[in-house]
Amino acid sequence: MPAQLLVKQGHQVVLHARNAQRATDARKALPQADAVVIGDVTTIAGAKSVAAQANGHGRFDAVIHNVAVGYQEPRRIETEDCMPEVFAANTLAPYILTALIERPTQLVYLSSGLHRGASANLDDVAWIKRRWNGSAAYSESKLHDVLLAFGIARRWPEVFSNAVEPGWVATRMGGKNAPDDLDQAHRTQVWLAAGDAKVTASYFYHLQPANVNVEATSEALQDQLFEICEKLSGVKLP
């Protein structure tokens, strides 16, 4: 939906898909897209490949980091890199892509209202010390995304880096009974990506500033998350 609206506004768009079949589906949904990069970013190698493919299309004005897996994981699913899939997709992948894709002007990270009830738990991002809880793992990963957004805004002052709460909407992840407005979920992403909001280190819900977990503003936690992601991925943030 963000891509469709961006194309309608006259922007060029490159999509991302997990695999070749999903890429075909994406092409059918938006034939006006310039290209589709392909890769499973739950793996470090996959995220690095997606970044390399993206860079092959030149520098982007904006990157929307909306890749994620959901909050209903009933058990700890481990990736080939020996990390929980939720952390790998929702936290580590945006970090790797941010670090390796040529620096854009606008960065948009998708979070969730559930982040407000979470703690970063950076001493156990792999869920080794704790009993697995899919909802809690998702919620803290969405807090991590705000930490990434705000930390990047601080480190890269020439980049507008913000986080977005799309709302609890009726997607496959949200479920058919989700109460929020699906038509509003993508509009803030587009507003930020198109450069219409000259703000950084902010958190938005439906085009308006929204309350954020106080942990997201901690520079110490931001730096600690960067250090953890660098150690796990072997990718240093420029």
Contacts with 234 (C-beta within 8 Å, 6 or more apart), sequence order: 44
**What are the φ and ψ backbone dihedral angles of 37, each rounded to 5 degrees?**
-90, 145
Q: Which residues participate in catalysis according to the annotation?
A: 138, 142
Indicate the SS3 state at residue 95: helix
| Cα(191)–Cα(124) distance, integer angstroms | 35
110: amino acid identity, one letter: L
CA distances from residue 169 to 69, 75, 162, 173, 205 in whole angstroms, order as listed: 15, 24, 20, 9, 13
